[in-house]
Structure 1
Amino acid sequence: MKKKMIIESIVMLFTILFLYTGISKIIEYSIFKEQIATSPILAPIATPVAFTLPWIEFLATVLLVIPRWRFKGFIVSLSLMVLFTMYTILILNINENIPCSCGGLIGELSWQGHIALNTAFIALAITGIVFEKQLKSAHRLELSSINDQKAPIQA
């Protein structure tokens, strides 16, 4: 039961994060796109990234809040956070003065603050993946045990 509560808490944190940043990116789309266009890494693909990224964040949220798809949601969330972290590290190695294209208040963090936040969310996603997998395995084992009890005795 404790693992289930931890999973629900992690889902809530990712939901808040992805809804907040996704909505911020859509509301401030032109600014978001301009900031991406200043990136030496993303400039050539600024328009597709600016259009697609908020929707991927929303997709991750939908997957996380539907229990049947939650494991996939954690995988998408982990992938996003790893990509964001890799991008941040690359930017730090190229030029620290590139503006952050994150949505809302998160854009006010320093690059080191982004790495710390992303690392925390990577740890949360990994925890969610492990706990979700353990709960599904326990559930399958429980169902198997119930089916074994219902099986007719054969002579």
Structure 2
Amino acid sequence: MLRRWIMEIIVLLLFSLFVYAATSKLMDYKVFLVQMNDQPFDDKFSILLVWGLPALQYLIAGLLIFRRTLLAGLYGSLALMLIFTVYITLIKLNFFNHIPCSCGGVIKQFTWTEHLYFNLFFIIISLAGIVFHKWLRRNVKPTFEKIQLS
């Protein structure tokens, strides 16, 4: 029972994160586009990222809400958070000269160190979600019995 409750909290946190992040980027589309153009990669990728990143975040959120796709959503969450964390680690190691934060909402107020800790937290809960999901699938009995016809 406790593991199911924890699993629900994990899913709710991840779902909220991705919906909030995607929505805040799209609500401030022009600012997000300028920030993406100011990133250390070729500008031709900016338009793809400006639309693709929120779409991917919504997709992951959508995967998280259905039982059949939950594990895919957890792995997607883990992968995206790992990518963001590697990027932030490179920023912290001064791999790039100047990096504007392209996050939206309250997250854009974070320092890079706070961003790193924030991402590590979501990596940990994504991993915990994967572990709990696999444990629950192994240990939960079906909720229905086969009907035997005489």
Larger radius of gyration: 1
**1:25-104 to 2 correspondences below 5 Å:** 25-41=25-41, 43-92=43-92, 93-95=94-96, 97-104=98-105
TM-score when normalising by structure 2: 0.88
Preserved CA contact (<8 Å) 1:36 1:42: no
Cα distance in structure 1, aligned partners of 2:41 and 2:112: 16
3-state SS of paired residue (1:94): coil
Q: How far is 1:37 from its partner?
A: 1.2
3-state SS of paired residue (1:98): coil
> 1:111 — aligned with what?
112
> 1:22 — aligned with what?
22
* 1:11-61 C-alpha deviation (Å, 9 max, x unpaired): 111111111110011111121111111111364411101110011111111
> 1:136 — aligned with what?
137
Q: How far is 1:101 from its partner?
A: 0.1
Unaligned stretches of 5+ residues in structure 1: 151-155
Unaligned stretches of 5+ residues in structure 2: none
Q: Which runs of 4+ in 1 moved over 6 A?
A: none
Q: How far is 1:98 from its partner?
A: 1.8
Q: What fraction of aligned residue pairs are identical, expressed as a percent?
A: 35
TM-score when normalising by structure 1: 0.86
> 2:5 — aligned with what?
5
- The structure in which a higher percent of residues are helix is 1
Cα distance in structure 1, aligned partners of 2:139 and 2:78: 23
Cα distance in structure 1, aligned partners of 2:133 and 2:58: 20
Cα distance in structure 2, aligned partners of 1:41 and 1:116: 24
3-state SS of paired residue (1:41): coil
How many residue pairs get aligned? The number is: 144
Cα distance in structure 1, aligned partners of 2:65 and 2:73: 8
